[in-house]
């Protein structure tokens, strides 16, 4: 097996000219128009314009850590708002063009953009989502829910989400997500 090492000091961001970007946008728009079943896969890049740093890019959190530099400037996750790209995906989903979105992000911006939960798979979870395992309702909070109602050793969560507790006691006054 060959392992390729990356020189973190030579990472560079790539920027297309306006003409090249226009051509690429037109090409992808054509592909989207032709698609019969479009699934979108998103990662950190969709949230960088919301001032949430990526992790592996030239100025990413992990890249800068490996270089002994401080983390990039950012805003608290709770202050981030969905970007134009998030909203475009909602529009495409509402028109039936995007059938499903798969996200690696935990920032909750897809849900906060209005994308229906049934159209979203959050591979690494959502740090704003609590679940009542008894009634199967989900609650989207405006604060991070690490260490939910069951605490760090919640046996119920260990069965569903092995990394940390995301459960909440079911309270009738709270409005569940649909």
Residues 126-161: pLDDT tens digits? 888 877 777 777 877 777 776 555 555 566 666 666
In a shared domain, residues 165 and 117: no
* Number of domains, the chain: 2
Mean pLDDT of all residues in 89-116: 95
In a domain, 9, yes or no: no
Answer for the pair 109, 82: CB distance below 8 angstroms, yes or no. Answer: yes
Supply the range of the domain harboring residue 163: 127-178
In a shared domain, residues 56 and 134: no
In a shared domain, residues 119 and 131: no
In a domain, 113, yes or no: yes
In a domain, 150, yes or no: yes
Distance of CA 143 to the CA centre of its chain: 16
In a domain, 78, yes or no: yes
- pLDDT, one tens digit per residue, over 19-69 is 999 999 999 999 999 999 999 999 988 999 999 988 888 888 888 899 899
Distance of CA 26 to the CA centre of its chain: 25
- Active-site annotation holder among 2, 100, 110, 124: 124
Query: Which tokens in the block code for residue 97?
Result: 């063009």
- Is 103's pLDDT higher than 60? yes
In a shared domain, residues 165 and 95: no
In a shared domain, residues 143 and 160: yes
Query: Which tokens in the block code for residue 133?
Result: 């395992």
Do the bridges between strand 38-42 and strand 137-140 make them parallel or antiparallel, or are there none, so unpaired?
unpaired
In a domain, 3, yes or no: no
Q: Which residues contact 106 (CB under 8 A, 6 or more apart)?
A: 122, 124, 125, 126, 127
Answer for the pair 124, 101: CB distance below 8 angstroms, yes or no. Answer: no
Cα dihedral value 61, 66, 68, 69, nearest 10: -20
Please confirm, yes or no, whether 124 is among the known catalytic residues.
yes
Distance CA 97, CA 37 (A): 7
Distance CA 75, CA 50 (A): 9
Query: Which tokens in the block code for residue 11?
Result: 């990472």
Say what the pTM is.
0.75
Cα distances (Å, whole numbers) of residue 47 to 1, 38, 110, 159? 34, 21, 10, 30
């Amino acid at each position: 097996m060959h392992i390729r090492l990356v020189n973190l000091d030579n990472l560079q961001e790539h920027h297309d000219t306006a003409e090249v970007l226009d051509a690429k946008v037109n090409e992808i728009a054509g592909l989207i128009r032709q698609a019969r079943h479009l699934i979108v896969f998103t990662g950190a890049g969709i949230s960088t314009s919301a001032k949430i740093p990526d992790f592996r890019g030239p100025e990413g959190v992990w890249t800068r850590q490996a270089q002994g530099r401080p983390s990039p400037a950012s805003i608290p996750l709770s202050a981030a708002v969905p970007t134009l790209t998030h909203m475009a995906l909602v529009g495409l989903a509402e028109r039936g063009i995007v059938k499903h979105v798969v996200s690696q992000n935990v920032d909750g911006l897809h849900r906060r953009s209005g994308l229906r939960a049934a159209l979203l798979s959050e591979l690494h979870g959502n740090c704003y989502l609590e679940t009542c395992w008894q009634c199967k309702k989900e609650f989207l909070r405006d604060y991070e829910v690490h260490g939910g109602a069951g605490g760090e050793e919640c046996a119920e969560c260990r069965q569903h989400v092995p990394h940390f507790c995301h459960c909440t006691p079911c309270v009738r006054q709270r409005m569940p997500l649909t």
